[in-house]
Amino acid sequence: MPGADYGATRFSALSQINAQNARRLRPLWSFSTGVLGGHEGQPLVVNDTMYVVTPWPNVLYAFDLTQEGYPLRWKYRPAVSPNALGAACCDSVNRGAFFADGRILYNLLDGHTVAVDAASGRQLWSTQVADMQAGETTPMAPLVAKDRVIVGASGGEFGIYGWLKALDLKTGAIVWTAHNLGPDADMLIRPGTFRPPYDQGTDLGVHTWARESWRTGGAPVWGSITYDPELDLIYYGTGNAGPYNAEQRAGDNKWTSSVLARRPEDGALVWAYQFTPHDSWDYDATGTMILADLVIGGKPVKALVHFDKNGFAYTLDRASGRVLVAAPFASLNWAKSVDLATGRPVVDPSKQTGASKGNVKDICPSLEGGVSPSSPGAYSPRTHLFYTSVNNLCMDSVVTQAAYIKGTPYMSSTNPYSAGPGGNRGGFIAWDATTGRKAWEDKESYPTWSGTLVTAGDVVFYGTLDGWFKAVDARSGKLLSKFKVGSGVVGNPMSFRGPDGRQYVAIYAGIGGDWALLTGDFISADPADVRAPAPYMKDIARRTSQGGIVWIFGL
């Protein structure tokens, strides 16, 4: 599955590659995907076959790992609409596939979920789940829990009415649709089953929005979903409220920028917690909800750990949704702290943006977040540490009144970025979620946009925007190995055991994604689109350009 396990710990139990021998890591194989969009997500390896989903046009490659050179067993080229390229806010990315019941499940950017036979590559079903005309697209990775394929849609910049859907694994039929805002009936909130830790009342998804603004309020689902089979709950984060001008939607705007826990069977909402009430900074909460069993204050806790775009890292009790720990993991000044009694951030009113506020300066983090939700972290049960990429960017913000026109962006803001305190624009950290403290940090010159892999060999892997793939010591952060992979890394490393019994590590190169839209001078493929470098990153195009490559490393 995309996150290595249901809890998305991205921990590999393989240990042949360790902190002593990782300096001998070398590239063993590579393959050009032929696609130029941002290569987020990760390969899947099942039954000696490696599956790779590309960004739009969402080709699915199946590589035979038993033969020299890993030739393709087949490739699947779905009919996917080119309109998706413009309906998607933030590049043509895809965040990966899920394997279940002998089939590969993934989303096409144009709003379809497909099931493909993992052996033959034949399409079993295709279901339209999202409406591009309404600004909905589907880059996220599905999750299969029981016989439900759970999917959501992007469109927080298009004023969508955000939702989560469950499809029948066998047939692709839509079983339930749960909105993330709006009336209780639309949200699948049923009397007696919804127990939010800090809120009470009915129709909060309506009453926390001025006028009828919930109807175009956003709350997209574009990150990943996790699942606890024992509690039988799925967990996912919702994105920003729309439009960016928060004055058009007075109130908390529930349940945008929140984590929601639902039953996979019928979609019933069990609890919800809002990280950023009345979001005015584009602080999506779509980053992964990592599930791990921790010991806090001597007590075992079924925890959910989340690195939010708003710069706080949260440790929650995943049965109740109560916040146990909330502490800044990135440069942050929009709030002073999180009140654990109420769960609410203590907001600095001078950092509140809005059409009446003019230019609000020096807000940290920027709307790219303390970490991108598309850069999932990892957890090692050996070191008891979490690992994640971080961004160190701040922004000025000018927000204006936005008009809703269906199928067009619903944003209206200008947000120039600058490097945060220290001058480095990114980094990589190890985090103790029981205390809310950093264990170590490696600074990076550029924002760090890759996902994370940690292994039982106590090696952590991540990539950088200027195209270095790095292995570092899980206990100290010391650099063990690095290699320039040909394009910036925005994908997620993963590890697998090959048919020969050896441990390998795979990673995509292929710069792109949300940040890239503001830094368009790394695009070389379109002679009709030539842009000046972004002021906050004048030098990135000197070091990398577009191009998707799958890499495999080993000893």
Partner 1 sequence: MDLRPVSSARRFSSTRAGAADHLAALLAALLLGACTQQPASPPAEQSAAPPSVRYDSHLAADEQLPPGANPLNPKAGDPATVKAGETLFGTMNCDGCHGGAGSGWVGPSLADGRWRYGGSDAAVFASIYYGRPKGMPAFGGKLGIDGVWTLVSYVKSLPVPADIATESWESAH
Q: Please name the residues in contact with 64: beta carbons below 8 A apart, sequence gap of 6 or more.
A: 48, 49, 70, 71, 72, 73
Distance CA 76, CA 554 (A): 28
Residue 40 is a catalytic residue: no
Q: Which is nearer to partner 1, 265 or 396 (CB)?
A: 396
Q: Are the C-beta atoms of residues 428 and 388 closer than 8 Å to each other?
A: yes
Tokens 């965040």 sit on residue: 95
DSSP element (H, E) containing 84? helix 84-87
Residue 185 in the binding site for partner 1 (CB under 8 A): no
Q: Which of 136, 157, 442, 458 is the binder for partner 1 (CB under 8 A)?
A: 157
- Minimal distance, residue 120 CB to partner 1, in Å: 31
Tokens in use for 442?
Answer: 């490696």
Residue closer to partner 1 (CB basis): 56 or 469: 56
- The smaller minimum CB distance to partner 1, of residues 27 and 416, is found at 416
Q: Are 411 and 157 in contact (CB under 8 A)?
A: yes
468-473 β-sheet, strand order: 11-12, 453-455, 459-463, 468-473, 479-484
**What SS3 class is residue 210?**
coil
Known catalytic residue at 441: no
Least distance CB 519 / partner 1 (angstroms)? 10
CB of 86 to partner 1, least distance (A): 1
Rounded Cα distance, 444 and 41, in Å: 21
| Distance from C-alpha of 480 to C-alpha of 25, rounded to nearest angstrom | 9
Min CB(3)–partner 1 separation in Å: 27
Site string for partner 1, 400-439 (x = CB under 8 A): x-xx-x-xxxxxx-x-------------------------
Tell me the closest approach of the beta carbon of residue 132 to partner 1, in angstroms: 8
Shortest Å distance, C-beta 456 to partner 1: 40
Judged by CB under 8 A, the residue of 174, 319, 518, 555 near partner 1 is 518
DSSP per residue, 118-149: TTT--EEEEEE---GGGT-B--SPPEEETTEE
Catalytic residue among 136, 228, 282, 444: 282
Q: Is the peptide bond before 243 cis (omega within 30 degrees of 0)?
A: yes
Residues 292-321 close enough to bind partner 1 by CB under 8 A? none
Rounded Cα distance between 441 and 389, Å, is 10
**CA dist., res. 105 & res. 40, Å (int):** 16
| ∠ Cα 132 77 140 (to 5°) | 45
**Cβ closer to partner 1: 312 or 522?**
522
- Cβ 410 to partner 1, closest distance in Å? 7
Interaction between residue 91 and partner 1 (CB under 8 A): yes
If the CB atoms of residues 103 and 543 are measured against partner 1, the closer one turns out to be 543
Residue 248 has φ and ψ, to the nearest 5°, of -85, 0
Give whichever of 341 and 525 is closer to partner 1, judged by the CB atom: 525
Which residue, 341 or 528, has its beta carbon nearer to partner 1? 528
How far is 507 from 483, CA to CA, in rounded Å?
12
Region 535-554 residues binding partner 1, contact defined as CB under 8 A: 539, 541-542
Of 376-395, which residues contact partner 1 (CB under 8 A)? none
Q: Assess 528 for contact with partner 1 (CB under 8 A).
A: yes
Annotation marks residue 391 as catalytic: no
CA separation for the pair 270, 257 (Å, rounded) = 17
Q: Of 145-153, 274-282, 348-356, 531-539, which segment contacts partner 1 by CB under 8 A?
A: 531-539
Q: Given the residues 110, 157, 279, 473, select the one marked as catalytic.
A: 157
CB closer to partner 1 out of 85 and 296: 85
Per-residue HEC secondary structure of 487-539 comes to CCCCCCCEEEECCCCCEEEEEEECCCCCHHHHCHHHCCCCCCCCCCCCHHHCC
Q: What sign has the CA pseudo-torsion 386, 156, 253, 196? A: negative
Q: Which is nearer to partner 1, 275 or 515 (CB)?
A: 515
Residue 299, C-beta contacts closer than 8 angstroms, at least 6 positions apart: none
Of the residues 64, 131, 339, 521, which one makes contact with partner 1 according to CB under 8 A: 521
Stretch that binds partner 1, among 80-88, 123-131, 266-274, 483-491 (CB under 8 A): 80-88
In angstroms, give the least distance from the CB of 409 to partner 1: 2
Using rule CB under 8 A, residue 89 touches partner 1? yes
Number of residues lying near partner 1 (CB under 8 A): 37
**Is 335 within 8 Å of 370 (Cβ atoms)?**
no
* Out of 69, 230, 298, 532, the residue judged to bind partner 1 by CB under 8 A: 532
Q: How far is the CB of 140 from partner 1 (least distance, A)?
A: 17
Binding site for partner 1 (CB under 8 A): 82-91, 157, 400, 402-403, 405, 407-412, 414, 517-518, 520-521, 526-533, 539, 541-542
Catalytic residues: 157, 240, 282
